[in-house]
Structure 1
Amino acid sequence: MKYLIVLVLSIFSLAKTFAQTIHLFNGKDLNNWYSDVPATDKDPNLRKSFIIRDGNLVSMGTPEGHLLTKDKYENYRLELEYRFAGKPGNCGVLVHASTPRALYGMFPKSIEVQMMHENAGDFWCIVEDIKVENMEARRGPKENWGITEGKERRVKNLTDNSEKPLGEWNKMTIECRGDKIKVWVNGDMVNDGFGATAQKGQIALQAEGAEVEFRKVDLTPLK
Protein backbone atom coordinates (compact mmCIF):
# COMPACT_ATOMS: atom_id res chain seq x y z
CA MET A 1 0.00 0.00 0.00
CA LYS A 2 2.86 2.35 0.88
CA TYR A 3 4.50 1.85 -2.52
CA LEU A 4 1.15 2.34 -4.27
CA ILE A 5 0.67 5.70 -2.54
CA VAL A 6 4.18 6.77 -3.52
CA LEU A 7 3.51 5.73 -7.12
CA VAL A 8 0.21 7.62 -7.26
CA LEU A 9 1.83 10.75 -5.81
CA SER A 10 4.68 10.51 -8.33
CA ILE A 11 2.25 10.19 -11.23
CA PHE A 12 0.24 13.15 -9.91
CA SER A 13 3.39 15.24 -9.59
CA LEU A 14 4.48 14.33 -13.12
CA ALA A 15 1.04 15.10 -14.53
CA LYS A 16 1.03 18.44 -12.73
CA THR A 17 4.40 19.31 -14.27
CA PHE A 18 3.17 18.55 -17.78
CA ALA A 19 -0.07 20.45 -17.14
CA GLN A 20 1.95 23.58 -16.48
CA THR A 21 3.37 23.68 -19.99
CA ILE A 22 1.91 26.49 -22.07
CA HIS A 23 1.67 25.96 -25.81
CA LEU A 24 2.40 29.51 -26.93
CA PHE A 25 1.82 28.27 -30.47
CA ASN A 26 -1.16 25.93 -30.63
CA GLY A 27 -0.76 24.89 -34.27
CA LYS A 28 -3.95 26.68 -35.30
CA ASP A 29 -3.80 30.42 -34.75
CA LEU A 30 -1.84 33.33 -33.28
CA ASN A 31 -4.29 34.19 -30.50
CA ASN A 32 -1.46 34.33 -27.92
CA TRP A 33 0.48 36.84 -30.01
CA TYR A 34 0.42 40.22 -31.73
CA SER A 35 2.76 41.64 -34.35
CA ASP A 36 4.76 44.87 -34.43
CA VAL A 37 5.93 45.56 -37.97
CA PRO A 38 6.99 49.21 -38.43
CA ALA A 39 6.49 49.25 -42.22
CA THR A 40 2.77 48.64 -41.77
CA ASP A 41 2.44 52.03 -40.06
CA LYS A 42 2.60 53.60 -43.53
CA ASP A 43 1.05 50.74 -45.50
CA PRO A 44 -1.32 48.49 -43.52
CA ASN A 45 -1.98 46.43 -46.67
CA LEU A 46 1.50 44.91 -46.79
CA ARG A 47 1.62 41.13 -46.64
CA LYS A 48 1.65 39.62 -43.16
CA SER A 49 5.07 38.92 -41.71
CA PHE A 50 3.79 35.99 -39.62
CA ILE A 51 1.31 33.38 -40.83
CA ILE A 52 0.08 29.85 -40.14
CA ARG A 53 0.96 27.37 -42.91
CA ASP A 54 0.51 23.60 -42.81
CA GLY A 55 0.25 23.68 -39.02
CA ASN A 56 3.46 25.68 -38.60
CA LEU A 57 4.01 29.25 -37.46
CA VAL A 58 5.96 30.88 -40.28
CA SER A 59 8.07 34.02 -40.10
CA MET A 60 8.05 35.25 -43.69
CA GLY A 61 11.20 37.31 -43.12
CA THR A 62 9.75 40.50 -44.58
CA PRO A 63 8.40 43.03 -43.86
CA GLU A 64 10.77 42.99 -40.91
CA GLY A 65 9.37 43.13 -37.40
CA HIS A 66 8.40 41.03 -34.41
CA LEU A 67 5.68 38.71 -33.18
CA LEU A 68 5.25 39.19 -29.44
CA THR A 69 3.38 37.29 -26.74
CA LYS A 70 0.48 39.14 -25.21
CA ASP A 71 1.60 38.02 -21.74
CA LYS A 72 4.84 38.56 -19.84
CA TYR A 73 6.83 35.70 -18.33
CA GLU A 74 9.66 35.06 -15.88
CA ASN A 75 11.46 31.94 -14.64
CA TYR A 76 10.68 29.50 -17.43
CA ARG A 77 12.00 27.00 -19.91
CA LEU A 78 11.19 27.79 -23.53
CA GLU A 79 11.39 24.99 -26.09
CA LEU A 80 11.29 25.75 -29.81
CA GLU A 81 11.57 23.59 -32.90
CA TYR A 82 12.43 25.52 -36.05
CA ARG A 83 13.99 25.30 -39.49
CA PHE A 84 14.88 27.60 -42.34
CA ALA A 85 12.26 26.80 -44.94
CA GLY A 86 14.30 27.97 -47.93
CA LYS A 87 17.56 29.87 -48.03
CA PRO A 88 19.62 30.23 -44.82
CA GLY A 89 19.42 33.59 -43.12
CA ASN A 90 18.67 35.49 -39.97
CA CYS A 91 16.07 35.15 -37.24
CA GLY A 92 15.96 35.16 -33.45
CA VAL A 93 13.91 34.74 -30.33
CA LEU A 94 13.84 37.64 -27.88
CA VAL A 95 13.35 37.13 -24.15
CA HIS A 96 12.48 39.69 -21.46
CA ALA A 97 11.12 42.02 -24.16
CA SER A 98 9.57 45.30 -23.06
CA THR A 99 9.76 48.79 -24.62
CA PRO A 100 8.83 48.48 -28.32
CA ARG A 101 11.09 49.82 -31.08
CA ALA A 102 13.83 50.74 -28.61
CA LEU A 103 16.66 50.03 -31.08
CA TYR A 104 16.86 51.13 -34.73
CA GLY A 105 13.16 51.96 -34.60
CA MET A 106 12.25 48.26 -34.70
CA PHE A 107 13.78 46.03 -31.99
CA PRO A 108 12.07 45.91 -28.58
CA LYS A 109 14.22 46.26 -25.48
CA SER A 110 15.25 42.66 -24.79
CA ILE A 111 17.97 40.03 -24.92
CA GLU A 112 18.03 38.16 -28.21
CA VAL A 113 18.94 34.51 -28.55
CA GLN A 114 20.22 34.26 -32.10
CA MET A 115 18.88 31.72 -34.59
CA MET A 116 20.89 32.99 -37.56
CA HIS A 117 22.21 30.04 -39.58
CA GLU A 118 25.59 28.90 -38.20
CA ASN A 119 25.35 31.34 -35.28
CA ALA A 120 22.49 29.85 -33.26
CA GLY A 121 22.86 30.59 -29.56
CA ASP A 122 24.64 33.94 -29.71
CA PHE A 123 23.30 36.61 -27.36
CA TRP A 124 22.53 40.05 -28.76
CA CYS A 125 22.01 42.85 -26.24
CA ILE A 126 19.12 45.12 -27.20
CA VAL A 127 19.06 47.98 -24.65
CA GLU A 128 19.48 45.23 -22.02
CA ASP A 129 22.71 43.52 -21.04
CA ILE A 130 24.06 40.13 -19.98
CA LYS A 131 27.43 38.70 -18.96
CA VAL A 132 29.25 35.45 -19.77
CA GLU A 133 32.54 33.87 -18.80
CA ASN A 134 35.51 34.94 -20.95
CA MET A 135 33.61 38.09 -21.81
CA GLU A 136 36.31 39.89 -23.81
CA ALA A 137 37.11 36.81 -25.88
CA ARG A 138 33.45 36.46 -26.83
CA ARG A 139 32.38 40.11 -27.09
CA GLY A 140 35.51 41.93 -28.14
CA PRO A 141 37.41 44.81 -26.48
CA LYS A 142 35.63 46.09 -23.38
CA GLU A 143 35.72 49.71 -24.52
CA ASN A 144 33.43 48.78 -27.43
CA TRP A 145 30.73 47.08 -25.35
CA GLY A 146 27.29 48.62 -25.26
CA ILE A 147 23.58 47.99 -25.65
CA THR A 148 22.58 50.66 -28.18
CA GLU A 149 23.29 51.59 -31.80
CA GLY A 150 26.93 51.36 -32.87
CA LYS A 151 28.10 49.37 -29.84
CA GLU A 152 29.38 45.80 -29.63
CA ARG A 153 26.17 44.03 -28.65
CA ARG A 154 26.97 40.50 -29.80
CA VAL A 155 28.13 37.85 -27.32
CA LYS A 156 29.33 34.84 -29.29
CA ASN A 157 28.11 31.35 -28.47
CA LEU A 158 30.26 28.43 -27.36
CA THR A 159 29.89 26.33 -30.51
CA ASP A 160 28.74 26.80 -34.10
CA ASN A 161 28.57 23.06 -34.78
CA SER A 162 25.28 22.21 -33.10
CA GLU A 163 22.80 23.07 -35.86
CA LYS A 164 21.25 20.50 -38.16
CA PRO A 165 21.74 20.69 -41.95
CA LEU A 166 19.49 23.17 -43.75
CA GLY A 167 15.92 21.95 -44.09
CA GLU A 168 16.07 19.79 -40.95
CA TRP A 169 14.38 20.73 -37.69
CA ASN A 170 16.45 22.22 -34.90
CA LYS A 171 15.51 22.16 -31.23
CA MET A 172 16.40 25.19 -29.13
CA THR A 173 15.88 25.32 -25.38
CA ILE A 174 16.16 28.59 -23.47
CA GLU A 175 16.09 28.54 -19.69
CA CYS A 176 15.50 31.86 -17.94
CA ARG A 177 15.86 31.76 -14.17
CA GLY A 178 16.39 35.01 -12.29
CA ASP A 179 19.21 36.92 -13.99
CA LYS A 180 20.55 33.79 -15.72
CA ILE A 181 19.87 32.64 -19.27
CA LYS A 182 21.07 29.27 -20.59
CA VAL A 183 20.69 28.08 -24.17
CA TRP A 184 20.88 24.61 -25.74
CA VAL A 185 20.74 23.77 -29.46
CA ASN A 186 19.96 20.15 -30.28
CA GLY A 187 21.09 19.13 -26.81
CA ASP A 188 24.37 21.05 -26.77
CA MET A 189 24.76 23.92 -24.31
CA VAL A 190 25.72 26.84 -26.52
CA ASN A 191 25.48 29.77 -24.12
CA ASP A 192 25.36 30.40 -20.37
CA GLY A 193 24.72 33.98 -19.31
CA PHE A 194 24.32 35.70 -15.96
CA GLY A 195 23.75 39.17 -14.62
CA ALA A 196 20.96 39.92 -17.10
CA THR A 197 19.59 43.43 -16.60
CA ALA A 198 16.02 42.17 -17.16
CA GLN A 199 14.40 39.13 -15.59
CA LYS A 200 10.91 39.13 -17.08
CA GLY A 201 8.98 40.35 -20.07
CA GLN A 202 7.40 39.27 -23.31
CA ILE A 203 8.78 36.71 -25.74
CA ALA A 204 9.22 37.71 -29.37
CA LEU A 205 10.01 35.97 -32.64
CA GLN A 206 11.66 37.90 -35.45
CA ALA A 207 11.01 38.49 -39.10
CA GLU A 208 14.49 39.52 -40.19
CA GLY A 209 14.96 38.64 -43.82
CA ALA A 210 14.67 34.84 -44.00
CA GLU A 211 11.66 32.53 -43.99
CA VAL A 212 11.63 30.35 -40.87
CA GLU A 213 9.11 27.71 -39.79
CA PHE A 214 8.27 26.96 -36.16
CA ARG A 215 6.38 23.81 -35.27
CA LYS A 216 6.76 24.12 -31.50
CA VAL A 217 6.90 27.05 -29.10
CA ASP A 218 6.28 25.71 -25.57
CA LEU A 219 6.87 27.41 -22.24
CA THR A 220 7.14 25.61 -18.91
CA PRO A 221 7.27 27.71 -15.72
CA LEU A 222 10.16 26.95 -13.36
CA LYS A 223 9.79 26.95 -9.61
Structure 2
Amino acid sequence: MKNYIAIYILSFLIFSCKSHETKRSDTINLFNGKDLSGWHVDVPKMDEDPGAKSPFIIRDGLLVSLGEPQGHLITDSVYQNYKLDVDYRFPGEPGNCGVLVHASTPRALYGMFPKSIEVQMMHENAGDFWCIVENVEVPNMEERRGPKENWGITEGKERRIKNLTDDSENALGEWNNMVIESRADTIKVWVNGDLVNEGFNSTAKKGHIALQAEGAEVEFSKVELTHL
Protein backbone atom coordinates (compact mmCIF):
# COMPACT_ATOMS: atom_id res chain seq x y z
CA MET A 1 0.00 0.00 0.00
CA LYS A 2 2.80 2.35 0.92
CA ASN A 3 4.44 1.67 -2.43
CA TYR A 4 1.25 2.63 -4.27
CA ILE A 5 1.02 5.88 -2.29
CA ALA A 6 4.67 6.70 -3.00
CA ILE A 7 4.17 6.03 -6.73
CA TYR A 8 1.03 8.21 -6.78
CA ILE A 9 2.80 11.10 -5.08
CA LEU A 10 5.79 10.83 -7.40
CA SER A 11 3.53 10.76 -10.48
CA PHE A 12 1.61 13.77 -9.21
CA LEU A 13 4.80 15.76 -8.67
CA ILE A 14 6.16 14.89 -12.12
CA PHE A 15 2.85 15.89 -13.78
CA SER A 16 2.71 19.14 -11.81
CA CYS A 17 6.26 20.03 -12.82
CA LYS A 18 5.53 19.33 -16.49
CA SER A 19 2.34 21.40 -16.34
CA HIS A 20 4.24 24.27 -14.74
CA GLU A 21 6.96 24.06 -17.40
CA THR A 22 4.33 24.10 -20.16
CA LYS A 23 2.68 27.15 -18.65
CA ARG A 24 5.99 28.96 -18.40
CA SER A 25 6.88 28.09 -21.99
CA ASP A 26 3.70 29.83 -23.18
CA THR A 27 5.02 33.16 -21.81
CA ILE A 28 7.78 35.09 -23.54
CA ASN A 29 9.53 38.36 -22.73
CA LEU A 30 9.35 40.61 -25.77
CA PHE A 31 11.92 42.90 -24.10
CA ASN A 32 15.06 41.17 -22.84
CA GLY A 33 16.35 44.06 -20.73
CA LYS A 34 19.52 44.38 -22.81
CA ASP A 35 18.78 45.38 -26.40
CA LEU A 36 16.04 45.62 -29.03
CA SER A 37 16.35 42.08 -30.33
CA GLY A 38 13.06 40.99 -31.92
CA TRP A 39 12.01 44.57 -32.75
CA HIS A 40 12.54 47.03 -35.57
CA VAL A 41 12.21 50.80 -35.65
CA ASP A 42 9.96 52.70 -38.09
CA VAL A 43 10.57 56.45 -37.75
CA PRO A 44 9.91 58.56 -40.88
CA LYS A 45 12.37 61.29 -39.86
CA MET A 46 15.18 58.73 -39.84
CA ASP A 47 14.50 58.19 -43.56
CA GLU A 48 14.75 61.90 -44.27
CA ASP A 49 17.71 62.62 -41.98
CA PRO A 50 20.36 59.88 -41.78
CA GLY A 51 21.81 61.66 -38.73
CA ALA A 52 18.57 61.43 -36.76
CA LYS A 53 18.84 59.23 -33.68
CA SER A 54 16.34 56.51 -32.85
CA PRO A 55 13.86 57.52 -30.13
CA PHE A 56 13.98 53.98 -28.72
CA ILE A 57 16.88 53.20 -26.40
CA ILE A 58 17.86 50.93 -23.52
CA ARG A 59 18.68 52.77 -20.29
CA ASP A 60 19.40 51.20 -16.90
CA GLY A 61 17.75 47.96 -18.00
CA LEU A 62 14.60 49.75 -19.16
CA LEU A 63 13.16 50.14 -22.65
CA VAL A 64 12.71 53.88 -23.15
CA SER A 65 10.67 55.76 -25.73
CA LEU A 66 12.16 59.25 -25.82
CA GLY A 67 9.09 60.59 -27.64
CA GLU A 68 10.99 62.33 -30.45
CA PRO A 69 11.43 61.88 -33.35
CA GLN A 70 8.03 60.28 -33.53
CA GLY A 71 7.47 56.78 -34.80
CA HIS A 72 7.10 53.17 -33.73
CA LEU A 73 9.02 50.22 -32.35
CA ILE A 74 7.48 47.13 -33.95
CA THR A 75 7.88 43.44 -33.20
CA ASP A 76 9.44 41.37 -35.96
CA SER A 77 6.91 38.60 -35.29
CA VAL A 78 3.15 38.50 -35.76
CA TYR A 79 0.99 37.44 -32.81
CA GLN A 80 -2.57 36.17 -32.40
CA ASN A 81 -4.59 35.16 -29.31
CA TYR A 82 -2.44 36.40 -26.47
CA LYS A 83 -2.23 38.36 -23.25
CA LEU A 84 0.21 41.27 -23.29
CA ASP A 85 1.45 42.44 -19.88
CA VAL A 86 3.19 45.84 -19.84
CA ASP A 87 4.65 47.91 -16.98
CA TYR A 88 5.22 51.57 -17.90
CA ARG A 89 5.54 55.06 -16.48
CA PHE A 90 6.03 58.68 -17.51
CA PRO A 91 9.22 59.61 -15.62
CA GLY A 92 8.95 63.32 -16.42
CA GLU A 93 6.26 65.40 -18.06
CA PRO A 94 3.02 63.55 -18.78
CA GLY A 95 2.15 63.03 -22.39
CA ASN A 96 1.15 60.64 -25.11
CA CYS A 97 2.10 57.07 -26.02
CA GLY A 98 0.33 53.85 -26.90
CA VAL A 99 0.48 50.14 -27.54
CA LEU A 100 -0.64 49.13 -31.01
CA VAL A 101 -2.06 45.66 -31.53
CA HIS A 102 -2.76 43.85 -34.81
CA ALA A 103 -0.39 46.21 -36.60
CA SER A 104 0.20 45.56 -40.30
CA THR A 105 0.67 48.04 -43.15
CA PRO A 106 3.23 50.66 -42.03
CA ARG A 107 2.54 54.39 -42.25
CA ALA A 108 -1.08 53.83 -43.25
CA LEU A 109 -2.35 56.92 -41.40
CA TYR A 110 -0.84 60.41 -41.63
CA GLY A 111 2.29 58.84 -43.10
CA MET A 112 3.19 57.71 -39.59
CA PHE A 113 0.87 55.16 -37.95
CA PRO A 114 0.68 51.52 -39.03
CA LYS A 115 -2.72 49.98 -39.68
CA SER A 116 -3.73 48.74 -36.21
CA ILE A 117 -5.88 49.18 -33.12
CA GLU A 118 -4.20 51.49 -30.62
CA VAL A 119 -4.62 50.98 -26.90
CA GLN A 120 -3.99 54.44 -25.55
CA MET A 121 -1.44 55.11 -22.78
CA MET A 122 -1.80 58.90 -22.82
CA HIS A 123 -1.76 60.24 -19.27
CA GLU A 124 -5.33 60.27 -17.84
CA ASN A 125 -6.68 58.49 -20.93
CA ALA A 126 -5.10 55.06 -20.59
CA GLY A 127 -7.29 52.36 -22.11
CA ASP A 128 -8.97 54.36 -24.87
CA PHE A 129 -9.14 52.63 -28.24
CA TRP A 130 -8.03 54.48 -31.36
CA CYS A 131 -8.97 52.97 -34.71
CA ILE A 132 -6.12 53.24 -37.21
CA VAL A 133 -7.43 51.98 -40.58
CA GLU A 134 -8.91 49.07 -38.59
CA ASN A 135 -12.09 49.08 -36.53
CA VAL A 136 -13.38 47.71 -33.25
CA GLU A 137 -16.81 48.04 -31.63
CA VAL A 138 -17.96 48.51 -28.04
CA PRO A 139 -21.36 48.70 -26.36
CA ASN A 140 -22.91 52.21 -26.21
CA MET A 141 -20.80 53.27 -29.20
CA GLU A 142 -22.41 56.68 -29.71
CA GLU A 143 -21.88 57.63 -26.09
CA ARG A 144 -18.20 56.72 -26.24
CA ARG A 145 -17.34 57.57 -29.87
CA GLY A 146 -19.67 60.39 -30.76
CA PRO A 147 -22.34 60.71 -33.48
CA LYS A 148 -22.41 57.71 -35.80
CA GLU A 149 -22.17 59.83 -38.95
CA ASN A 150 -18.69 60.96 -37.84
CA TRP A 151 -17.24 57.48 -37.24
CA GLY A 152 -14.38 56.33 -39.39
CA ILE A 153 -10.93 54.79 -39.43
CA THR A 154 -8.98 57.32 -41.50
CA GLU A 155 -7.90 60.96 -41.31
CA GLY A 156 -10.53 63.42 -40.07
CA LYS A 157 -12.92 60.78 -38.68
CA GLU A 158 -13.95 59.99 -35.11
CA ARG A 159 -11.48 57.21 -34.38
CA ARG A 160 -11.33 57.48 -30.57
CA ILE A 161 -13.42 55.19 -28.36
CA LYS A 162 -13.28 56.41 -24.77
CA ASN A 163 -12.44 54.03 -21.93
CA LEU A 164 -14.82 52.97 -19.17
CA THR A 165 -13.17 54.33 -16.03
CA ASP A 166 -11.63 57.37 -14.42
CA ASP A 167 -8.64 57.36 -12.04
CA SER A 168 -7.37 53.88 -12.92
CA GLU A 169 -3.86 55.23 -13.50
CA ASN A 170 -1.38 55.71 -10.69
CA ALA A 171 0.12 59.09 -9.84
CA LEU A 172 2.44 60.62 -12.39
CA GLY A 173 5.91 59.10 -12.10
CA GLU A 174 4.65 55.85 -10.59
CA TRP A 175 4.58 52.56 -12.48
CA ASN A 176 1.36 51.45 -14.17
CA ASN A 177 0.42 47.97 -15.31
CA MET A 178 -1.53 47.49 -18.53
CA VAL A 179 -2.83 44.10 -19.63
CA ILE A 180 -4.23 43.64 -23.13
CA GLU A 181 -6.01 40.39 -23.94
CA SER A 182 -6.67 39.52 -27.57
CA ARG A 183 -8.89 36.53 -28.34
CA ALA A 184 -10.21 36.10 -31.87
CA ASP A 185 -11.99 39.41 -32.65
CA THR A 186 -12.20 40.70 -29.05
CA ILE A 187 -9.80 42.99 -27.19
CA LYS A 188 -9.94 43.60 -23.43
CA VAL A 189 -7.80 46.08 -21.52
CA TRP A 190 -7.01 46.36 -17.82
CA VAL A 191 -5.07 49.20 -16.17
CA ASN A 192 -3.79 48.48 -12.67
CA GLY A 193 -6.36 45.70 -12.35
CA ASP A 194 -9.37 47.73 -13.55
CA LEU A 195 -11.18 46.59 -16.69
CA VAL A 196 -11.02 49.82 -18.67
CA ASN A 197 -12.15 48.75 -22.14
CA GLU A 198 -13.64 45.80 -23.98
CA GLY A 199 -14.10 45.69 -27.73
CA PHE A 200 -15.50 43.15 -30.17
CA ASN A 201 -15.84 42.64 -33.94
CA SER A 202 -12.29 43.82 -34.49
CA THR A 203 -11.52 43.95 -38.20
CA ALA A 204 -8.06 42.50 -37.48
CA LYS A 205 -7.33 39.45 -35.36
CA LYS A 206 -3.55 39.22 -35.58
CA GLY A 207 -0.54 41.34 -36.38
CA HIS A 208 2.60 42.90 -35.04
CA ILE A 209 2.72 44.72 -31.69
CA ALA A 210 4.10 48.25 -31.61
CA LEU A 211 5.11 50.82 -29.01
CA GLN A 212 4.94 54.50 -29.85
CA ALA A 213 7.23 57.48 -29.67
CA GLU A 214 4.63 60.23 -29.64
CA GLY A 215 6.10 63.26 -27.94
CA ALA A 216 6.63 62.19 -24.31
CA GLU A 217 9.29 60.08 -22.64
CA VAL A 218 7.98 56.73 -21.42
CA GLU A 219 9.85 53.95 -19.64
CA PHE A 220 8.93 50.26 -19.96
CA SER A 221 10.20 47.70 -17.45
CA LYS A 222 8.16 44.75 -18.74
CA VAL A 223 6.70 43.74 -22.09
CA GLU A 224 5.59 40.15 -21.63
CA LEU A 225 3.37 38.05 -23.89
CA THR A 226 1.47 34.89 -22.98
CA HIS A 227 -0.03 32.77 -25.76
CA LEU A 228 -3.69 31.88 -25.20
Per the shorter chain, which TM-score range?
Answer: over 0.9
2:118 to 112, 123, 128: 112
Count of aligned pairs between the two proteins: 222
Quote the Cα distance in structure 2 between the aligned partners of 1:143 and 1:3: 64
Asked if 1:201 is matched to 2:207, the reply is yes
Matched position secondary structure for 1:66: strand
TM-score (norm. length: structure 1):
0.97
Partner of 2:197: 191
The 2-side partners of 1:195 and 1:6 are apart by 42
Q: Deviations over 1:21-53 (max 9, x none)?
A: 111100000011010000111102112210000
For residue 9 of structure 1, report the CA deviation from its aligned partner. Answer: 1.4
Contact 2:46 2:54 in 1 (8 A): no
* Cα deviation 1:124-147 (Å, max 9, x = unaligned): 000000001111111111111000
Moved over 4 A (4+): none
- What does residue 175 of structure 1 align with? 181
**Alignment check: 8 A CA contact 2:80 2:183 kept:** yes
Residue identity matched to 1:143: E
TM-superposed CA distance for 1:2, in Å, is: 2.8
The alignment's TM-score, normalised by the length of structure 2, stands at: 0.95
User: Unaligned regions of 5+ residues in structure 2, if any?
Assistant: 1-6
Tell me the distance in 2 between the aligned counterparts of 1:130 and 1:10: 39
Give ranges in structure 1 of 5+ residues lacking alignment. none
SS where residue 162 of structure 1 aligns? coil
Q: Cα offset for 1:3?
A: 4.5
2:35 is aligned with 1:29:
yes
Q: 1:70 aligns to what?
A: 76
For 1:221, the equivalent position in structure 2 comes to: 227
- Which secondary structure does the structure 2 equivalent of 1:201 belong to? strand
Q: Secondary structure at the match of 1:39?
A: helix
Q: Which residue of 1 aligns with 2:135?
A: 129
CA distance in 2, matches of 1:187, 1:123: 18
Are the aligned partners of 1:49 and 1:63 in contact in 2 as well (CA < 8 Å)? yes
Select the residue among 93, 99, 102 that pairs with 2:105: 99
Over the aligned positions, Cα root-mean-square deviation in angstroms equals 0.9
Q: Which residue of 2 aligns with 1:51?
A: 57
User: Given residue 55 of structure 1, which amino acid in structure 2 is its aligned partner?
Assistant: G
- Return the offset for 1:12: 1.6
1:150 paired to 2:156: yes
